[in-house]
Amino acid sequence: MWIVFAIGSALFAGLTSILAKCGIRKTNSTVATAIRTMVVLVFSWLMVFIVGSQNRIHEIDGRTLLFLVLSGLATGASWLCYFRALQLGDINKVVPIDKSSTVLTIILATLLLHEKMTAFKAVGAALIAVGTFLMIEKKQVNAGVQPKNNSWLLYALGSAVFASLTAILGKVGISGVESNLGTAIRTGVVLIMSWVMVFVSGKQREVMHIPKRELGFICLSGLATGASWLCYYKALQDGLAGVVVPIDKLSILVTVTFSYFVFKEKLTLRSGIGLAMIVIGTLGMLIP
């Protein structure tokens, strides 16, 4: 059953990137992250009350709470980097780098959680790494058009690193707490962190000037994220981190498909081969 939740996580995660990109064309990415986190927080606590786990909050011990907070901080850092990268770069380049966190997650899961590293996982991780490299190709610039800088690449790499830490810390943190409750607590940490960043960067006044259309997409992105999170951490609680994470990363197929229809971002032959390698590598890691 946990595989179904992992697939659901991938579908909603894929939609998140597209909706978020639509919502940050003019809106500052840090402000957008803070607002969408509010939506995710409401969604996650709603699920807590639906399943009736709010009465179990007193059962959370200090160690579990610590790892939930650390996981929330890692998530917040990953989000801030990810949506800044989306604002600066193309989805078809940012998303593959973010999904490459799978490789680091598998390594950390093997070293820290003692999950078995099989030959298929090793080969799959190698394919994902090579495929990601192939998808990060320089975009040809037309004459007279100023090329974009590569600052998006640093943000995308930061997103991948923090996403890996999120998975490992989250796995440890939800081992002693109901998954929906754990997700809600983590989201609260992300919300505090994101709004602190808004005020530190002096962007709080921009909240009142967000275009209504973009605000709608930001909120929809938050709903998609909330649904993805709930599926992801339920799957992570019941299954193996080394399997759940690769399935979740298949959201890249959803993202690439929608980016073609919504933003007209087309894959070159090289990036298409890279995408195929990422998918094959991901599926290969599901083999015992």
Taking the chain (288 residues) in runs of 10, the rounded mean pLDDT of each run is 86 90 92 94 89 87 88 92 90 85 84 82 88 74 50 92 88 75 90 95 93 95 86 80 75 85 85 90 75
b/e per residue 145-158 (b: at least 16 CB within 10 A): eeeeeeebbebbbb
User: Residue 94 sits in which domain range?
Assistant: 2-138+152-284
Note whether residue 144 is domain-resident. no
Cα–Cα distance for residue pair 21/218, rounded to 1 Å: 9
Q: Degrees (nearest 5) of the Cα angle 55, 39, 196?
A: 95
What does the pLDDT read at residue 247?
Answer: 79
Cα–Cα distance measured from residue 151 to residue 129, given in angstroms and rounded to the nearest whole number: 20
The predicted structure's pLDDT at residue 137: 66
Distance CA 80, CA 41 (A): 16
Counting the structural domains of the chain, the total is 1
| Residue 273 included in any domain | yes
Residues contacting residue 52 through CB under 8 Å, at least 6 positions apart: none
| Per-residue pLDDT at 84 | 92
Q: Give the pLDDT of residue 139.
A: 53
In a domain, 183, yes or no: yes
Is residue 261 classed exposed, middle or buried when 0-12, 13-18 and 19+ CB atoms within 10 A define those classes? Answer: exposed
Look up the pTM and report it.
0.79
Region label for 202, one of left (φ > 0), alpha (ψ between -120 and 50) or beta (otherwise)? left
35 in a domain, yes or no? yes
Q: How far apart are the first and last CA of the chain?
A: 17
pLDDT score of 288: 67
pLDDT at residue 143, rounded to an integer: 41
pLDDT of residue 149: 64
Q: What is the pLDDT of residue 138?
A: 58
User: How many alpha carbons lie under 13 Å from residue 177 in its C-beta half-sphere?
Assistant: 30
Q: Please say whether the beta carbons of 80 and 197 come within 8 A.
A: yes
Q: Is 53 helix (H, G, I), strand (E, B) or coil?
A: coil
How high is the pLDDT of residue 144? 46
Has residue 255 been placed in a domain? yes
| CA gap 277, 78 in Å, rounded | 24
In a domain, 230, yes or no: yes
| CA-CA-CA-CA dihedral for 159, 272, 283, 4, to nearest 10 | 70
Buried b / exposed e over 92-128, threshold 16 CB at 10 Å, is bbbbbbbbbbbbbbbbbbbeeeebeeeeebeebbebb
Q: Domain for residue 145, yes or no?
A: no
61 occurs within a structural domain: yes
